[in-house]
Amino acid sequence: MQTLTLPRPDDWHLHLRDGAMLTGIAAETARHFARAIIMPNLVPPVVTGAEAQAYRDRILAVTGSGFTPLMTLYLTEATDPADVVAAHRAGIITAVKLYPAGATTNSASGVRDFDRVRGVLEAMAQAGIPLLTHGEVTDPEIDIFDREAVFIDRVLDPIRRTTPGLRVVMEHITTSDAVAYVQSQPDDLGATITTHHLVINRNHILVGGIKPHYYCLPVAKRETHRQALLAAATSGDARFFLGTDSAPHADDAKESACGCAGCFTATNTMSILAQVFEAAGALDKLEGFSSRNGPAFYRLPVNDATLTLEKSDTPVSYPSKIDTGAGPVTVFDPGFPLYWRVL
Ligand SMILES: NC(=O)N[C@@H](CC(=O)O)C(=O)O
Ligand SMILES: [Zn+2]
Ligand SMILES: [Zn+2]
């Protein structure tokens, strides 16, 4: 029996939601991951240090202390730089999240005019607080498949040039353009890659009928982009690390005439990744991607605890849905059987 033991992985981009959904899904992550960067796009969003602290307490009440939620603030044009710096200094927050207004789920309170957050970004650069970006422009003229590449040119690169020292994570990258941009920059820039973007391309969403459970933002691109993401994730380059962007929505909100964006992958992420990395001939690179590169970027220790995966001869079973008090949530289906089981 083949086994693989890793330092316990972390998830550097995760949606846990709140209330009944949080209660129903938090264990799916806490079972395998030691820490996660918790996205702040609740309704209403997590914008102050006090709100982040209260949200952290609600998460810990569900997970218990074996899991460490690393909190983020949702950047708005009214964000107070002093509050951000104080929350960071007090150990309440790890990073700040930039959503262009209207770019994705619950982003209406995000940023419209990037000049209006310059003061916050400068304070973050000085204090060493990373900025996490949902990297898509919202200009209706720009095709949805081009929105990430245009964001890099029009928004991200100008922000980084005018804010020296600002550490940035490009979240959930989906294009070869983003991979190339990270590779061209110094190591104050990192990027998370999701599990699902290593598995699906846009055909999975659209061929043979529309598949709402494969719809997320940024939307999956053509196959050449998936291959670029896979090459980056398996390259050993420490600037690329796992952020699942596991984003639960109740099935009735996904299977709708206007379905929500988000794939829920917490349950089977580690099994899928082991399989994908093995198929790419890079099983030895999984440890860096899921357990070492993220802590290195965030200047945190690698976890002492471990996680062991075992390869079976027969496919492992996992639930197709998680029942939550907020309704059932469909678990991402990679479209192939999984043989790696987390022990
Ligand atoms: N990725 C998604 O498609 N959805 C996320 C938001 C986000 O990460 O952009 C969500 O909150 O549902
Ligand atoms: Zn996003
Ligand atoms: Zn997300």
Domain limits, the chain: 2-342
- Record: fold of 2-342: TIM Barrel (3.20.20)
CB 71 within 8 A of CB 57: no
* Nearest residue by C-alpha to atom 6 in ligand 1: 105
Rounded CA gap, 29 and 195, in Å? 13
CB 150 within 8 A of CB 115: no
Please name which ligand lies nearest the alpha carbon of 196: 1
Which tens digit of pLDDT belongs to each residue from 122-160?
Answer: 999 999 999 999 999 999 999 999 999 999 999 999 999
84 — phi, psi (to 5°)? -60, -50
Nearest of 121, 244, 229 to residue 183 by alpha carbon: 229
Mean pLDDT over each residue of the chain, to the nearest integer = 98
Would you call 245 a catalytic residue per the annotation?
Answer: yes
Which tens digit of pLDDT belongs to each residue from 269-317?
Answer: 999 999 999 999 999 999 999 999 999 999 999 999 999 999 999 999 9
Rounded CA gap, 188 and 165, in Å? 8
CB 218 within 8 A of CB 229: no
Catalytic residue among 143, 153, 245, 252: 245
Which tens digit of pLDDT belongs to each residue from 10-22?
Answer: 999 999 999 999 9
Stated pTM of the model: 0.98
Q: Is the pLDDT of residue 1 over 90?
A: no
Residues 6+ apart with CB under 8 A from 143: none
* Nearest residue by C-alpha to atom 4 in ligand 1: 262
Rounded CA gap, 132 and 229, in Å? 18
